[in-house]
Amino acid sequence: MSSTSIAVMASGRGTNLKVILDAVKAGDCPVDVSLVIADKGDAEALNIARIAGVEHVVHVNPKDYSGREQFDAECADLLDKHGCQWIVLAGYMRILSSAFVRRFRGRIINIHPSILPAFAGAKAVEDALLYGVKVSGCTVHLVDEVLDGGAILAQAIVPVFDDDTRDTLHARIQIEEHKIYPATLKRMVEEGFSIEGRRVIWAGKQ
Ligand SMILES: Nc1nc2c(c(=O)[nH]1)N[C@@H](CN(C=O)c1ccc(C(=O)N[C@@H](CCC(=O)O)C(=O)O)cc1)CN2
Ligand SMILES: NCC(=O)N[C@@H]1O[C@H](COP(=O)([O-])[O-])[C@@H](O)[C@H]1O
């Protein structure tokens, strides 16, 4: 099966990028990670991509652009230049402009460390702990103009313990992230889906 070209956009540690690259290398995910973009020059994701042999690894510095739309336009041009069919946000900590979302509508996915719609935003794990939830988890969703409001592709839940800290809960969530993200990417490429209202309807049998 010919592989689908994807780009991964990251800002930090890159553990989700790593598990996707490992799944591709193991033949478990028929995609080609042709481009990795990070908005932070010290993002470990950049090193992970280089070590894995990703052909195009780029730090795009927001400080080099006059605003969010100009920065996003540079990233968009890179994505088009490399023919990326899917844009996979993996710990990408910038809100994408409406212009960018419009340009790639239906082709951007994100992993979020909560059971959306609960706890959208940049501090989901902290917010869930403060609220006192007893379960949390992660969500893979399509990305649109509404922050963390896109249609949901997959979710996984974890227990929250009384002695949890932000770090212990996040570590438990990431165990599930590292399973659900490569698996959902594989399903998207091999099975496909349609959207009915807010609902993602997978093409294959459940
Ligand atoms: N248009 C969209 N952009 C993004 C989405 C989305 O659903 N629609 N998902 C986020 C990912 N994300 C949570 O999953 C998230 C990332 C960043 C922020 C945020 O507030 N960022 C600030 C800067 C924060 C910082 O630099 O520390 C900002 O961009 O001003 C909230 C949620 C990715 N983008
Ligand atoms: N709001 C976005 C957000 O909080 N995303 C979260 O950032 C982490 C990135 O980890 P990684 O860099 O190790 O893949 C992940 O836990 C992801 O859910």
- Domain coordinates in residue numbering, the chain: 1-104, 112-206
* CB distance 178 to ligand 1 below 6 Å: no
**C-alpha 171 to ligand 2 mean position (Å):** 11
Class (C level, CATH) for 1-104: alpha beta
For residue 52, give the nearest of 70, 71, 76, 32 by alpha carbon.
Answer: 32
- Of 11, 88, 92, 86, nearest to 45 by C-alpha is 11
CB of 114 within 6 A of ligand 1: the answer is: no
CATH architecture of residue range(s) 112-206 = 3-Layer(aba) Sandwich (3.40)
Cβ-contact 17, 90 below 8 angstroms? yes
- 90, amino acid identity: A
The series of mean pLDDT values per 10 residues for the chain, 206 residues long, is 87 98 97 98 98 98 97 98 97 97 98 98 98 98 97 98 98 98 97 97 89
Q: How many CA atoms lie within 13 Å of 87's alpha carbon, on the beta-carbon side?
A: 27
Task: Give the whole-angstrom CA distance, residue 23 versus residue 46.
Answer: 18
ipTM given for this complex: 0.95
Q: Which tokens go with 98?
A: 């409406």
Q: Quick count: other Cβ atoms within 10 Å of Cβ 55?
A: 11
Ligand found nearest the CA of 21: 2
| Secondary structure of residue 124 in the 3-state scheme | helix
Asked if 132 contacts 172 with a C-beta cutoff of 8 angstroms, the reply is no
DSSP symbols for 164-190: --HHHHHHHHHHHHHHHHHHHHHHHHH
| 16 marked among binding-site residues | yes
Closest by Cα among 148, 152, 172 to 161: 172
Task: Provide the 8-state DSSP code for 198.
Answer: T
Pairing of strands 4-10, 193-196: unpaired
Q: Is 121 in the pocket of ligand 1 (CB under 6 A)?
A: yes
What does the pLDDT read at residue 118?
98
User: 3-state class of 114 per DSSP?
Assistant: coil
For residue 94, say whether it is annotated as part of any ligand binding site. yes
Question: What's the pTM?
Answer: 0.97
Report which protein residue has its CA nearest ligand 2's atom 10.
Answer: 91
Q: How many residues does the chain have?
A: 206
What pLDDT, in 10s, does the model give residues 170-196?
999 999 999 999 999 999 999 999 999
Side chain identity at 2, as an amino acid letter? S
* pLDDT recorded at residue 2: 60
- In the residue annotation, 170 being an active-site residue is answered as no
What distance in Å separates the CA atoms of residue 144 and residue 151, rounded to the nearest whole number?
9
Domains 1-104 and 112-206 agree in fold: yes
